[in-house]
Amino acid sequence: MPPPAAPQSGPPADPYAPYGTNPPYGTAPQYGAGQPYAANQPFSAPPQQTPPGGYGVPYPQVPPPPSGTNGFAIASLVFGVMGGVLLGYIFGFVALSQIKKRNQNGKGMAVAGLVLSTIWSLVICGVIGVAIVAANNDTGTTGTTGTTSGDDTSVHSLRIGDCLNDLSTEDEIEELPVVPCTEPHDGEVYAEFKLTETSFPGIEAIEKKADPRCADLLKSYAPAAVDDPAVDTYYLYPTVESWAGGDRAVTCIASFDPARTGKLKG
């Protein structure tokens, strides 16, 4: 026998919902207030466009490499080293003119040549100046009739009061060095006389006449020298050739051993 059905715990389900009254119509929901439209904004100006930039500056052209060394620059340097002042200057200036036009090397050499030429010019001028000053100091008058040159002088141009060096014992003498009497010297011209013969008398006859005559003339020129053992007589006389040319002069010279300074007379 089946068990008895369990009792239901709740009210019986109403299979059909009761017809109720329709819910009352409520007020229609109000629509929310619409948001006011924003005021029309003014149209903004379109963005200003930046004008395109100008064309770029082209890159500078690279200069071509130097085309060798200028020959005049080399020549200027060489002559500057050697002391060729004039050519050093000329080549130097020509080189500087050409180097820029021809795009060459050598500017430094050209400038060095000009500088060296300038230095040589100053040195040369200095040497000349010193030589002139020295000559003026050395020459001066050695007497009112004395020769002032320090160079070799023809025996026919010697004058009384000239101081001489290098008195020679050679048979023929054409020149003797005239020096300032303030310097050591070997002799001094003190007299001159003329031979009166119409034809060449010969060397022995000339010597016989010249020895005593020059000794007497030394007494009148410098009496103290006659007794001076360091002073001797020396004379120049005509040769056959010079006699034919009209030479008649005998030149008396006081020779010194050792050499001395100062004038014999006075």
With b for 16 or more beta-carbon neighbours within 10 A and e for fewer, the 147-161 pattern comes to beebeebebeebbbb
pTM tops 0.85: no
Judged by DSSP in three states, 187 sits in: strand
The answer to whether residue 96 is domain-embedded is yes
pLDDT in tens, the chain (266 residues): 445 454 455 555 444 444 444 544 444 445 444 454 544 554 454 555 555 555 555 555 656 666 688 888 898 899 889 888 889 899 889 888 888 888 888 889 989 989 999 999 999 999 998 888 877 665 443 333 444 445 688 888 999 999 999 887 777 888 899 999 999 999 999 999 999 999 999 999 999 999 999 999 999 999 999 999 999 999 999 999 999 999 999 999 999 999 999 998 76
Judged by DSSP in three states, 5 sits in: coil
Are residues 94 and 174 part of one domain? Answer: no
Instruction: Examine the fold and report which residue of 112, 138, 164 is the final residue of a domain before the chain moves on.
Output: 138
Are residues 249 and 162 part of one domain? Answer: yes
Q: Residue 209 belongs to what domain range?
A: 152-260
What does R_g of the chain's alpha carbons equal in angstroms?
Answer: 65
The answer to whether residue 58 is domain-embedded is no
Are residues 216 and 120 part of one domain? Answer: no
